[in-house]
Amino acid sequence: MVETKSNGRHPGRTLLILGLLFLAAWLPRALTLDEFVTPDERKWLARSANFYLALSEADFDATYQTEHPGVTVMWLGALGWRSTYPEYVTQTPGQIADVQLEEWLAVNGRFSPLELLVALRRWVVLAIAIAIVAGFFPLRRLFGELAATLAVLYLAWDPFFVALSRQLHLDGLLASLICLALLTFLAWLYGGGQKRYLIASGLATGLALLTKTPAVFVLPTTGLLLLIETSRRRRAGRNDLLALFGSYAIWLAIAGALFFLLWPVMWRNAPDVLRTIVEMMTVHGQGHELPNYFRGEVTYDPGLLFYPVAFFFRTTPMTLFGLLAALVWGWRRRWPLDTADRRFSTFGLALFALIFTLGMALGAKKFDRYLLPAFLVLDVVAALGWLGLASWLGSRLRSERDQQQAQEQNVAPLGSAGVVLLIALFLAHGWLGICHAPYYLTYYNPLAVAVV
């Protein structure tokens, strides 16, 4: 069911919602950024410095710093260097490793490595907050304003997501971009075929691929969804299948073009760069340099159970129950999963989570943070499940007249009981992480802790 102008959409209210959502997403990530450091960030501080230097000297080959490829993080990092320490490019001895950078800053720099790290983190946090809030538009197209607002707020406050999106690192930005790419693709496929969502999805997909190679799992997901939708439309007698595949080709072209345009080394030697990425990802997939500890054993490959266990330990109890509720409302075809398009959209999110988890499980090298993109799309599904439960609770306590009015207005008002339930739920979901601030990475699911 597509939201229309009759739903009472007002620009002023939309701006207010976006502003509040931005604050909710940005504040937990932006505060106390100088209170912690994680191991890999020193590498990205140096890589961003090298990227900034390469851009300033038009040394396009030097914009290749790693096979991840981490280009979006380095662009944001370069903005951090440019806004904080612009003269670095005239003083630096050249392309430099992380330890060397710290030693050079100690002798020659105006800022400490921590001060620069915080400056660069702020740009990453800003980009992630914008990507989170941008998800409001495709979600509103698919599920309406209320569901969009609550879903964005819910995923923004995911404790594990907050922890990983406060760093000069890849995973928080990758998850944000993948989630936005999927939501906008679904809004195009199931929300009326508007080209703006197709273009936005292509751009977000290109940025995600520039961030980290696991973004490639967006491609088989969207391809499968397109085939399913093709079969569905054929059964319905629709004759727009050629246009559907043509639009998908445009989507692929947009993603590929952005990947090429924003990474200068691709202008010089694209085939070799792509070949190197594939070769290095194959090496990474063969295992860790150092072993993992999983289920009481030291191992180089934790196996297929690692990511389900990691999800259980890093998610919240509210998400687990929300996913169960979404399954129930989808099966019963109840609001907000009352229409086929909404159910297919929710299925698309769950399908990506499954494909991504299985794909990441094939490699021997595993970290819980690698699964973050699946967390975000499942957060959206869980939020829809809780919204349906709140609506059901409200309907049980509403008068017959109120229910009739709701049906006429094509909305599902929650009632006071539903509102109370959602407020308590969202505060608890967010508080589980906030109470660990500023060391959000110390959060673990209370249910998992109890089991252990």
**What tens digit of pLDDT does each residue of 148-162 get?**
999 999 999 999 999
Residue 401 has pLDDT above 60, yes or no: no
Look at residue 413 in the predicted model and tell me its pLDDT: 59
pLDDT of residue 8: 55
299 pLDDT above the threshold of 90: no
* Alpha carbon distance 73, 45 (integer Å): 10
Q: So what's the pLDDT on residue 3?
A: 42
- pLDDT above 90 covers a percentage of the chain that reads 77
The residues, any chain, with a CB within 8 Å of residue 379's CB and separated by 6 or more, are 151, 154, 155, 158, 161, 319
Query: What's the burial of 304, exposed, middle or buried (CB within 10 Å: 0-12/13-18/19+)?
Result: exposed
**Helices and strands in the chain: count of H runs, count of E runs:** 21, 2
Tens digits of residue pLDDT in 361-370: 998 889 999 9
Rounded average pLDDT over 115-121: 97
The Cα 140–Cα 58 span in angstroms is: 42
- β strands within 295-339, DSSP E: 297-299
**Where does the pLDDT of residue 241 fall: very low under 50, low under 70, confident under 90, or very high at 90 and above?**
confident
pLDDT at 207: 98
pLDDT at 5: 40
Contact between 206 and 257 (Cβ < 8 Å): yes
pLDDT classification of 287: cutoffs 50, 70, 90: low
pLDDT of residue 403: 52
User: Around 106, how many Cα atoms within 13 Å sit in the side-chain half-sphere?
Assistant: 6
Which pLDDT does position 118 carry in this prediction?
A: 98
Task: Give the model's pLDDT for residue 374.
Answer: 98
Whole-number Cα distances in Å, 10 to 4, 7, 133, 197, 409: 12, 9, 17, 20, 16
- With cut-offs at 50, 70 and 90, classify the pLDDT of residue 293: confident
pLDDT bracket for residue 394 (50, 70, 90): confident
DSSP output for 249-299: HHHHHHHHHHHHHT-THHHHHHHHHHHHHHHHHHHHHT--SS-EEETTEEE
How much is the mean pLDDT over the chain?
Answer: 91
Do 337 and 391 meet the contact criterion of CB atoms below 8 Å apart?
A: no
pLDDT at 400: 53
Distance, CA of 382 to CA of 326 (rounded, Å): 6
- Provide the β-strand partners of residue 299: 292
Q: Which residue has the higher pLDDT, 399 or 362?
A: 362
Task: Look at 66-70, 76-80, 146-150, 301-305 and tell me which has the smallest mean pLDDT.
Answer: 301-305
State yes or no: pLDDT of 27 exceeds 70: yes
Q: pLDDT higher for 143 or 109?
A: 143
Nearest to 369 by CA among 310, 440, 285: 310
pTM: 0.94
DSSP designation for 69: B
80 CB burial (10 A radius; 0-12, 13-18, 19+): buried
